[in-house]
């Protein structure tokens, strides 16, 4: 299953039929009796300097995919290539140079930063690992803090002395301290206030241009994802159901699930909101241990047929590298049954107008 537009250059990161299953242990002996397919047959390509957005409801497998891409979790099946080298099951020793080039920014900066260390100590770790001379570390720490919009004079403060947005900036600075080529961002702004989200997303955009970084940007908020991504992949129950260039996905969603996610995004303009289709998606996602036959979205889909129950749809190109896994793709949002507001897991993003295009 190939996903997305092929990079114009050699891929920086490539996932082929990636799978990650978590065992469910039961009984006195705690034997593995069943498995949760957190990531199921996912293939992705990321070019140098590109941003790929990954979006979906809570529990769809976004964070599990992110952990696979940085090898915090070892894939159960499939392969993961970084700059052409297979790192799927590489040993911790052989992963050391790769870990410096692939960094991760976590959702909760307070939990991901060592509260017992000062900011300077946190940033110095990455600098030392990449071989920065001891005499230059202090200057490099100050430069990193300035780069993310923080006062270098706060280098001796502890993480708890900063606000949530400032702590996330420290997390970004820590990732930059290793001089990476790729940063995987796992819900980096979901815990922040509206105005702070826009500032952090704009900061990430500036850093990408200045340092020629590639991002995998994981979020459930399509308003934020649109401004941050070149391409967007939509996940549902471990699978990618649609992927395309960002603008095309918003202008021409082809999967009913994508259309429902887009309909749930608040629109500041009331006139535009009145003319927009509303999508009803009933029920909750299927139990990950008891997936439905055929299409996984079928129990909630207003367009489902017997074909959807019998055959699992595969990603197919509908022009312009716009891929969708659906037997009955939409020609436009108007084809979705529209009788009320969408019922999805997020309130959307009211800060969309604060983000730079």
Asked, for residue 141, whether it belongs to a domain, the answer is no
Task: Grade residue 333 by pLDDT with cuts at 50, 70 and 90.
Answer: very low
pLDDT computed for residue 193 by the predictor: 82
Q: Which stretches of the chain are DSSP H helices?
A: 62-69, 92-101, 109-112, 119-129, 134-147, 164-176, 194-211, 222-228, 246-251, 256-263, 270-274, 306-310
Task: Grade residue 280 by pLDDT with cuts at 50, 70 and 90.
Answer: low
Give me the long-range contacts of 144-152 (CB less than 8 A, separation at least 24).
144/173, 144/176, 144/177, 145/119, 145/173, 147/173, 147/176, 147/207, 148/172, 148/173, 148/176, 148/203, 148/207, 149/199, 149/203
Asked, for residue 271, whether it belongs to a domain, the answer is yes
pLDDT computed for residue 40 by the predictor: 94
pLDDT computed for residue 263 by the predictor: 84
Asked, for residue 333, whether it belongs to a domain, the answer is yes
pLDDT computed for residue 25 by the predictor: 83
Task: Using a pLDDT cut of 70, give the percent of the chain over it.
Answer: 86
Asked, for residue 214, whether it belongs to a domain, the answer is yes
Lowest mean pLDDT among 12-16, 236-240, 264-268, 285-289: 264-268
The residue range of the domain holding 60 is 13-107+187-354
- Count how many domains the chain has: 1
Q: Is the pLDDT of residue 4 over 80?
A: no
CB–CB of 69/80 below 8 Å?
A: yes
Q: What is the mean pLDDT of residues 111-139?
A: 93
pLDDT computed for residue 210 by the predictor: 93
Q: Is the pLDDT of residue 29 over 80?
A: no
CATH number of residue 331's parent domain = 3.40.50.300
Spell out the residues 6+ positions from residue 228 whose beta carbon is closer than 8 angstroms to its own: 51, 53, 201, 204, 205, 215, 217, 219
Q: Is the pLDDT of residue 336 over 70?
A: no
pLDDT computed for residue 85 by the predictor: 94
Give me the long-range contacts of 150-154 (CB less than 8 A, separation at least 24).
154/119
Q: What is the mean pLDDT of residues 296-324?
A: 93
Q: Is the pLDDT of residue 231 over 90?
A: yes
CB–CB of 237/300 below 8 Å?
A: no
Asked, for residue 134, whether it belongs to a domain, the answer is no
Asked, for residue 64, whether it belongs to a domain, the answer is yes
Q: Is the pLDDT of residue 145 over 90?
A: yes
Task: Grade residue 278 by pLDDT with cuts at 50, 70 and 90.
Answer: low
Asked, for residue 81, whether it belongs to a domain, the answer is yes
Of the two residues 212 and 10, the one the predictor is more confident about is: 212
Longest distance between any two alpha carbons in the chain, whole Å = 69
pLDDT computed for residue 277 by the predictor: 59
Q: Which of 7-16, 139-148, 345-354 has the highest mean pLDDT?
A: 139-148
pLDDT averaged over every residue in the chain = 86
Q: Is the pLDDT of residue 272 over 70?
A: no
Q: What is the mean pLDDT of residues 90-107?
A: 92
Asked, for residue 291, whether it belongs to a domain, the answer is yes
Query: DSSP string of 43-57?
Result: EEEE-TT-EEEEE-S
pLDDT computed for residue 10 by the predictor: 86
Task: Grade residue 264 by pLDDT with cuts at 50, 70 and 90.
Answer: confident
């Amino acid at each position: 299953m190939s996903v997305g537009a092929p990079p114009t250059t050699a891929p920086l990161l490539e996932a082929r039929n990636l799978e990650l299953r978590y065992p469910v242990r039961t009984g006195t002996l705690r034997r593995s009796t069943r498995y949760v397919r957190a990531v199921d047959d996912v293939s992705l390509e990321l070019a140098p300097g590109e941003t790929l957005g990954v979006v979906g409801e809570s529990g769809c497998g976004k964070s599990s995919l992110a952990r696979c891409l940085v090898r915090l979790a070892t894939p159960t099946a499939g392969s993961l290539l970084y700059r052409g080298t297979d790192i799927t099951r590489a040993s911790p020793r052989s992963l050391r140079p790769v870990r410096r080039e692939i960094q991760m920014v976590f959702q909760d900066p307070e939990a991901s930063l060592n509260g017992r260390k000062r900011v300077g100590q946190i940033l110095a770790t990455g600098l030392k690992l990449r071989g920065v001379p001891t005499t230059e570390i202090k200057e490099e720490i100050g430069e990193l803090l300035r780069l993310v919009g923080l006062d270098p004079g706060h280098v001796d403060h502890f993480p708890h002395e900063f606000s949530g947005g400032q702590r996330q900036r420290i997390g970004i600075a820590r990732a930059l301290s290793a001089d990476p080529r790729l940063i995987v961002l796992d819900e980096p702004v979901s815990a922040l206030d509206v105005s702070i989200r826009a500032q952090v997303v704009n900061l990430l955009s500036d850093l990408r241009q200045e340092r020629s970084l590639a991002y995998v940007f994981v979020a459930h908020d399509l308003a934020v994802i649109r401004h941050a991504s070149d391409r967007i992949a939509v996940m549902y129950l471990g699978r990618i159901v649609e992927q395309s260039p960002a603008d095309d996905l918003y202008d021409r969603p082809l999967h009913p699930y994508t259309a429902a996610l887009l309909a749930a995004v608040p629109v500041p303009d009331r006139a535009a909101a009145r003319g927009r289709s509303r999508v009803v998606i009933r029920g909750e996602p299927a139990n990950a241990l008891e997936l439905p036959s055929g299409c996984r979205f079928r129990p909630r889909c207003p367009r489902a047929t017997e074909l959807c129950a019998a055959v699992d749809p595969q990603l197919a190109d509908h022009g312009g590298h716009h891929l969708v896994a659906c037997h009955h793709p939409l020609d436009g949002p108007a084809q979705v049954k529209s009788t009320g507001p969408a019922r999805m897991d997020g309130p959307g993003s009211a800060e969309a107008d604060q983000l730079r295009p």
